[in-house]
């Protein structure tokens, strides 16, 4: 018993003001604290908010946006943007629907879906690196082209008759059948991409190209390849998001994901990824997506009128952006 | 003729580095007065002070016997003092007339009086002998015509004094002739002209007097009509021995050719570059503004497009089409602009040092951060980077320490041939000395060093061989005991009419 006491004391000792300041000086730490504050506030307003079912709901709602936000993080770290990610999301939905309805093995269809994301995303990278187009313009163009292809493939109609077998792979529940498996898929994707960015050669190169392209070029890095890779990963994020939505809905809607790119950018911005490039992480984007859906669900629970929800979402983006400046001060006061 | 512009005891520092020391001289009304000196001698800084770009200097300036201190270039314009910049800056999408009148538009009520602007602009353009009109789009003009627009802009604001900074650098031969005629016309109108150039033939052709600067100090003012080229160059040299970099271990080079460059060309930029560098040699590349030395080393490093010619390393012909290829063949480049080219701002020291050869720390796809950091620490210690911290962001270090990180990057990937472009630009004396020692140590290990520099004391003190360039051409290769200020400056200044 005294051992437990000792441990508790040690844990409490760590909660000094300085440690909290240090946690707040890292973006991820600050995001986690902010999420706890949001959860706390809405729980006080209505204790329904803290019920496991609601927490699962928050997580589930952040899955699709989480995949998109993690994907787009790669484009933004490269000092670019991927406006076409919502259209790639739709493309993966319609292609995978067609594959499945055509009787393809679900696992093979999922593999091909990822390939669809990599190809269309990689094509963005080709436009940006080989043709030297500005990322905003290039992906604005492909956003429309890819959306068009999604409509052409389906003739504008939803694809019906998605096999249950497929839906169970991506949309079944675990843990007493309340926690959707898609949450774990997202967490796995976040960990995988975080390791790629922080721990591998291509990841290091992505940060260097985004941070200073000229310097990266003069360091012998093949800029074009790195950009194509980054945009391909962005496309893969979009494709997986699409496949999960398809499993959730059971119909392949070519219209899905219009405006989804803006939600993804919002989550990434809240995560602190700078549009100037060279900064940001998948974990931060993931936390940004959770924060956004915690807020949205909270506003519904608190019965705030819909129109005000838009105002709140916008305000949180602006607050998140201004936090950077406060953080810099905290950093200089702890070191 | 009276003393129209008088500079009295002008001094100016950037941080710890003093770039102008107690400069005093005067300019007469209506003369064309040349300012001459090497790169970094202080000519452009003095002009910037005169035009109100810098206000934090010591000393006084009198203009027509009145003390002046302008708040901005715009403020100077209001007082009849105009500047024609080194880089031509006009709004390309506007017309000639709109550019000429920009910031000083004639108005009728609340509207811009375009008719009046066009009339006034066209009159000035006629006077300058220009064939384009006020309504011509600036984007359709050549470099020389754009410069005429800038001169017209100065006349539109009734400028009494115009300064030119390297005005002929971007012009073709025909345009240069037209420009000289224009200068004559301005002079005839009584306009006083300050003229920064290192092209001696131009100075002799159009200037009345010439003031020489050396390392931020005033040397002398001469009558351009009577002084000889020989005497002028003589006045530009004469540093004390202790001002030169000192080699502790001279002549370490072997007979083995480490790098051979054969007939390197880049159309419109440089041509006919041909030289050999021996193993263990410190090879210098010297040239003044517009000599294209940086383009040559970037071409060797594979960072320029449309380059022809052959490169041999250790006697073998190699194909270099990108920095990636150059690095594979053992070449490293410390680029001219440290902050924008040398390192990645969002990276710490360890990340910057290991970037080019991160593969060394990869085990099964993952980077071993511990190994990476401990290896970076070795280089940081070896180069005495302050603070000794591999996780410090490179961007927060001083200039000298940043440069050490950029050099460490190439030591880390074991470059056999290290090219350094302006290695000590904006670096304090202590760090300079350390970098010089390091370069000597490298050649003593049998590596090869190429330095591009504007600083003669550095080039003369360190190099075994110096190649002098001017206007994109290789003028002369000077070796060992023939290397001195006068010899090198002679080729750098007068190359074009000596050959």
Q: What is the pLDDT of residue A12?
A: 61
Are B356 and A220 in contact (CB < 8 Å)? yes
Q: Over range A298-324, report the average pLDDT.
A: 87
CB contact under 8 A, B323 and A215: no
Whether residue B334 sits in one domain with residue B229: no
Q: Which domain-ending residue is among B241, B274, B306?
A: B241
**How far is CA A84 from its chain centroid?**
14
* Tokens at A52, concatenated: 């496991």
Q: What is the pLDDT of residue B247?
A: 85
Do B162 and B233 have their domain in common?
yes
One domain, residues B215 and B258: no
Domain ranges in chain A are 31-334
Concatenating the DSSP letter of every residue in B275-328 gives EEEETT-EEEEE--TTS-HHHHHHHHTT-SSS-EEEEEETTEEE---SHHHHHH
Number of domains in chain B: 2
Residues spanned by the domain of B204: 3-241
Q: What is the pLDDT of residue B376?
A: 95
Q: In this predicted structure, what is the pLDDT of residue B499?
A: 37
CA distance B102 to B97: 8
Distance of residue B371 Cα from the nearest chain A Cα, in angstroms: 13
* Residues B483/B236/B293/B464 CA torsion (nearest 10 deg): 10
How confident is the model at residue B496, as a pLDDT?
A: 45
Q: Does B335 touch chain A (CB under 8 A)?
A: yes
Chain A to chain B Cβ contacts (< 8 Å): 72
Do B380 and B288 have their domain in common? Answer: yes
Residue to test with chain B: of A204, A218, A280, most B Cβ within 10 A:
A218
The pLDDT value given to residue B179: 87
Minimal-distance CA residue of chain A relative to B342: A215
Count of all residues that appear for chain B in the document:
499
Cα separation, B37 vs B12, in Å, equals 17
> In chain A, what residues touch B342 (CB-CB under 8 Å)?
215, 218
pLDDT of A25 strictly over 70: no
Contact yes or no for B266/B304 (Cβ under 8 A): yes
* Residue B397 sits in the same domain as residue B472: yes
CB count within 10 Å of CB B467 equals 25
CATH number at residue B144: 3.40.50.300
Condensed to tens digits (0 to 9), the pLDDT of residues A185-204 reads 999 999 999 999 999 999 99
- Write out pLDDT tens, residues A223-264: 999 999 999 999 999 999 999 999 999 999 999 988 899 999
Q: Which helix (H) or strand (E) holds B145?
A: helix B143-156
CB–CB of A212 and B345 under 8 A? Answer: yes
Are B204 and B317 members of one domain?
Answer: no
The residue among A220, A222, A278 with the most chain B CBs within 10 A of its CB, best to mutate, is A220
A195, A199, A215: residue with CB nearest B344: A215
Give B441-481 pLDDT, tens digit per residue. Answer: 999 999 999 999 988 889 999 999 999 998 889 999 999 88
Average confidence (pLDDT) per 10 residues, chain B, 499 residues = 86 86 94 89 90 92 92 88 76 89 80 88 88 90 85 87 85 83 90 89 91 91 89 83 82 92 93 95 90 94 95 95 96 93 94 94 91 95 91 90 95 95 86 92 95 90 94 90 87 61
How many Cα atoms are found within 13 Å in the side-chain-facing hemisphere of B411? Answer: 23
Higher pLDDT, A22 or B356: B356
Q: Which residue of chain A comes nearest to B363, CA vs CA? A: A200
The string of pLDDT tens digits covering residues A137-167 is: 999 999 999 999 999 999 999 999 999 999 9
Which CATH code is given to the segment(s) A31-334? 1.10.3470
ipTM entry:
0.84
Say whether pLDDT at A289 is over 90.
yes
Both structure tokens of A291:
């924060």
Separation between Cα atoms, residue A276 and residue A294, nearest integer Å: 27
In terms of domains, do B146 and B156 share one? yes
pLDDT at A176 over 90: no
Domain limit, last residue, from B216, B241, B266: B241
What's the pLDDT score for residue B414? 93
Calculated CA dihedral for residues B477, B481, B485, B491, nearest 10 degrees:
-20
> Are residue B72 and residue B17 in the same domain, yes or no?
yes
Q: Identify whether residues B72 and B151 lie together within a single domain.
A: yes
Final residue in a domain of this structure, among B222, B241, B260: B241
Which residues of chain A are within 8 Å of residue B367 when distances are taken between CB atoms? 199-201, 204
Residues in chain A within 8 Å Cβ distance of B366: 195, 199-200
pTM: 0.82
B377 in contact with chain A, both atoms CB, cutoff 8 A:
no
Distance CA B64, CA B29 (A): 9
Q: CA B492: distance to chain centroid?
A: 13
Same domain, yes or no: B10 and B139? yes
Tally of CB atoms within 10 A around A275: 14
In this structure, are B146 and B269 located in the same domain? Answer: no
Q: Are residues B325 and B386 in the same domain?
A: yes
Subunit contact B323:A218, Cβ cutoff 8 A: yes
The verdict on a CB contact (< 8 Å) between A215 and B342 is yes
């Amino acid at each position: 018993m005294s051992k437990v006491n000792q441990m508790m004391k040690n844990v409490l000792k760590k909660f000094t003001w300085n440690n909290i300041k240090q946690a707040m000086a890292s973006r991820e730490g600050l995001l986690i604290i902010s999420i706890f504050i949001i959860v706390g506030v809405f729980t006080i307003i209505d204790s329904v908010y803290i019920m496991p079912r609601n927490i699962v709901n928050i997580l589930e709602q952040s899955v699709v946006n989480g995949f998109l936000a993690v994907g787009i993080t790669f484009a933004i770290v490269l000092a670019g943007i991927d406006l076409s990610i919502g259209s790639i999301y739709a493309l993966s939905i319609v292609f995978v629907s067609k594959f499945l309805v055509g009787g393809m093995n679900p696992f093979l269809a999922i593999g091909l879906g990822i390939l669809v994301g990599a190809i269309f995303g990689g094509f963005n990278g080709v436009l940006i690196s080989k043709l030297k187009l500005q990322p905003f313009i290039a992906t604005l163009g492909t956003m429309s082209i890819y959306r068009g292809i999604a409509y052409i493939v389906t003739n504008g109609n939803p694809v019906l008759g998605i096999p249950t077998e497929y839906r169970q792979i991506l949309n079944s529940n675990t843990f007493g059948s309340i926690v959707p498996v898609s949450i774990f898929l997202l967490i796995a994707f976040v960990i995988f991409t975080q390791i790629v960015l922080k721990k591998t050669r291509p990841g290091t190169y992505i940060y260097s190209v985004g941070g200073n392209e000229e310097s990266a070029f003069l360091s012998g890095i093949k800029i074009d390849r790195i950009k194509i890779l980054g945009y391909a990963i962005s496309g893969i994020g979009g494709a997986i998001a699409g496949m999960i939505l398809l499993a959730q809905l059971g119909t392949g809607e070519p219209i899905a994901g219009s405006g989804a790119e803006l939600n993804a950018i919002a989550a990434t911005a809240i995560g602190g990824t700078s549009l100037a490039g060279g900064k940001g992480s998948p974990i931060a984007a993931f936390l940004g997506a959770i924060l956004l859906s915690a807020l949205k669900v909270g506003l519904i629970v608190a019965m705030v009128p819909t129109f005000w929800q838009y105002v709140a979402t916008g305000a949180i983006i602006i607050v998140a952006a201004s936090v950077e400046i406060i953080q810099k001060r905290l950093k200089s006061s702890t070191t | 003729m009276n003393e129209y512009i008088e500079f009295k005891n002008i001094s100016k520092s950037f941080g710890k580095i003093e770039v102008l020391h107690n400069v005093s001289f005067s300019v007469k009304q209506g003369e064309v007065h040349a300012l001459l000196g090497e790169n970094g001698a202080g000519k452009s800084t003095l002009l910037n002070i005169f035009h109100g770009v810098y206000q934090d200097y010591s000393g006084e300036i009198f203009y027509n016997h009145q003390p002046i201190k302008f708040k901005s270039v715009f403020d100077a314009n209001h007082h009849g003092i105009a500047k024609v910049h080194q880089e031509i800056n006009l709004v390309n999408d506007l017309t000639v007339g709109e550019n000429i009148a920009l910031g000083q538009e004639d108005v009728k009520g609340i509207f811009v009086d375009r008719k009046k602007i066009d009339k006034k602009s066209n009159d000035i353009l006629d006077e300058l002998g220009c064939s384009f009109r006020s309504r011509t789009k600036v984007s359709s003009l050549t470099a020389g015509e754009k410069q005429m627009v800038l001169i017209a802009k100065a006349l539109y604001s009734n400028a009494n004094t115009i300064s030119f900074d390297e005005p002929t650098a971007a012009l073709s031969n025909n345009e240069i002739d037209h420009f000289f005629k224009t200068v004559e016309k301005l002079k005839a109108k009584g306009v006083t002209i300050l003229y920064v150039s290192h092209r001696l033939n131009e100075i002799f052709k159009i200037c009345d007097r010439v003031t020489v600067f050396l390392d931020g100090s005033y040397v002398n003012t001469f009558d351009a009509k009577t002084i000889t080229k020989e005497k002028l160059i003589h006045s530009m040299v004469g540093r004390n021995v202790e001002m030169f970099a000192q080699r502790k271990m001279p002549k370490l080079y072997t007979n083995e050719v480490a790098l051979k460059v054969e007939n390197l060309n880049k159309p419109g930029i440089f041509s006919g570059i041909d030289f050999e560098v021996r193993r263990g040699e410190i090879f210098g590349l010297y040239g003044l503004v517009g000599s294209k030395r940086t383009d040559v080393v970037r071409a060797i490093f594979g960072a320029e497009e449309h380059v022809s010619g052959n490169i041999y390393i250790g006697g073998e012909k190699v194909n270099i089409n990108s920095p990636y290829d150059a690095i594979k063949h053992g070449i490293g480049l410390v680029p001219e602009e440290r902050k924008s080219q040398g390192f990645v701002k969002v990276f710490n020291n360890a990340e910057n040092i290991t970037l080019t050869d991160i593969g060394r720390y990869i085990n099964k796809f993952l980077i071993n951060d511990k190994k990476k950091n401990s290896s970076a620490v070795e280089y940081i210690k070896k180069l005495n980077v302050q603070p000794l911290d591999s996780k410090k962001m490179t961007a927060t270090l001083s200039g000298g320490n940043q440069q050490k990180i950029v050099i460490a990057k190439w030591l880390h990937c074991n470059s056999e041939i290290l090219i350094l472009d302006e290695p000590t630009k904006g670096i304090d004396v202590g760090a300079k000395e350390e970098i010089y020692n390091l370069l000597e140590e490298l050649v003593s290990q049998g590596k090869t060093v190429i330095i591009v520099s504007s600083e003669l004391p550095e080039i003369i003190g360190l190099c075994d061989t110096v190649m002098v360039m001017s206007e994109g051409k290789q003028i002369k290769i000077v070796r060992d005991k023939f290397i001195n200020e006068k010899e090198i400056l002679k080729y750098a200044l007068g190359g074009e009419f000596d050959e």
